[in-house]
Amino acid sequence: MPAAPPAAPDTATDVVLVVDFGAQYAQLIARRVREARVYSEIVPSTMPVAEMLARNPRAIILSGGPSSVYAEGAPSIDRALFEAGVPVFGMCYGFQLMATTLGGTVDDNGAREYGRTSLAVSKAGSTLFEGTPTEQPVWMSHGDACSAAPEGFTVTASTDVVPVAAFENDEKKLYGVQYHPEVMHSTFGQQVLEHFLYRGAGIEPTWTTTNVVEEQIALIREQVGDKRAICGLSGGVDSAVAAALVQKAIGSQLTCVYVDHGLMRKGETEQVEKDFVAATGAKLKVVDAEKRFLDALAGVSDPEQKRKIIGREFIRVFEQAQLEILQEEGPEVAFLVQGTLYPDVVESGGGTGTANIKSHHNVGGLPDDIEFQLVEPLRQLFKDEVRMVGQELGLPEEIVQRQPFPGPGLGIRIVGDVTKERLDLLREADAIAREELTAAGLDRDIWQCPVVLLADVRSVGVQGDGRTYGHPIVLRPVSSEDAMTADWSRLPYETLAKISTRITNEVAEVNRVVLDVTSKPPGTIEWE
């Protein structure tokens, strides 16, 4: 039996709850709070206020949302929240909800503001705006507007069309802004948020990634007990950090399973076998499943179906590995560790009030009859936070700073049917792009550079004085903080030219290289 798990870190008295009213930025708010070194968690707006208060939060933040406060069925909040003595900060919809609940006036007066707006601060020394300019750019996204603050509140900012764009009540520790301080377009937004946390709520900035590691180790030990776990290791940052975290928690009870499904990049399998085992000392079982996956994907071109097939086959392979490990070592393998991140959950429709953009193989792509209990220690983290956890665990830079790679691998970077021939072609093109980006010293300047094969598209070209009819390759270099939003990376023309020349010269059946210059939104980072 393993040693008794240590008590979980006492974060309950230091937590800031972010109440999600269906905002696309709810998790970003939580992330910004963590950047201020204050622990935060998201809760749905449907959670009863009594349950929120039972968590003994140090503060509560009300997120934005797509509804009008007057719309039928719009999310509401119990007035008791504002009378409990807990500091509250309302943003956008949360600001309007605070105003109407406490007797202020919010109406549809045509004062719509979307995008960058100039905010005029009327009380520069206020709790929220101390030390910030009296004129500052903010990011607005609203239809209704607050025209009168509740009794006891001081109006501290306005815009040309909104008379009440921020208000504060220091006595009751209630604050609100009409805009989105959590997005980078609100230049002083992080400072305003930190003023609420430090000055309004009186919270000390003491939370770090060390807390994440300590807390998750305790939770993992409590969840797994004396049973065994396997981890689906893909070679990417997420699964590597998840595996290292669980390895630290339960040691030899974990076996990492690397599924070589034939959808990996060139040299991937060899790198995983060498780098990860050397860094962690974890037990690694490599399963050659290329034929199984390619047979299952044969003739399938729909991206959602591909993801679901890949997710299903992963589980089937893990189940077979479970039986083999049981026979070889015992006891029962009851848990499956996954490197699921919050953006995976959001895009798979798992966030509060979010739509299903695409099913990630490890979330919406899992089969209904899965028998494993999931261990997902990174589920509430963004990629940059995962990298920090990896550094805290002592993983080498080659793993921690590796560019993201999707679990379904190259299967979702082929637009069209997936075949071994097409995979080999894409592998070579991808390897060339990675080599040239590294040679140019650009690995840290871009977030990720998916290389996509348009397998069902051909175009006419000329090579060696002869006509060709080959496939196009798409380069998709993007810059991002967290994969929730992204912009295309402005790579040097010289680097792009080298990549294009090498791919068209060295990769058979490719006669054209194109550059994807679409941001997210409207496009996702991956094509499928």
In the annotation, is 261 catalytic? no
In the annotation, is 397 catalytic? no
Token match 């950090």: residue?
A: 241
Rounded-to-integer distance, Cα 481 and Cα 133, Å: 26
Token match 């269906």: residue?
A: 22
Exactly one of 142, 146, 180, 526 is catalytic; which is it? 180
Rounded-to-integer distance, Cα 145 and Cα 67, Å: 13
Q: What is each CA distance from 113 to 23, 142, 178, 186, 258, in whole angstroms?
A: 17, 6, 10, 14, 50
**Helix 237-250 crosses helix 383-392 at what angle (to 10 degrees)?**
40
Exactly one of 92, 231, 256, 449 is catalytic; which is it? 92
Rounded-to-integer distance, Cα 117 and Cα 405, Å: 37
State how beta strands 283-288 and 254-260 pair.
Answer: parallel
Rounded-to-integer distance, Cα 38 and Cα 21, Å: 21
Exactly one of 113, 168, 182, 313 is catalytic; which is it? 182
In the annotation, is 182 catalytic? yes
Rounded-to-integer distance, Cα 398 and Cα 279, Å: 10
Q: Find the length of the chain.
A: 528
Rounded-to-integer distance, Cα 233 and Cα 240, Å: 6
State how beta strands 16-20 and 40-44 pair.
Answer: parallel
Name 259's bridge partners.
287
Q: Which helix (H) or strand (E) holds 54?
A: helix 49-54
Name 16's bridge partners.
40, 59
Catalytic residues: 92, 180, 182
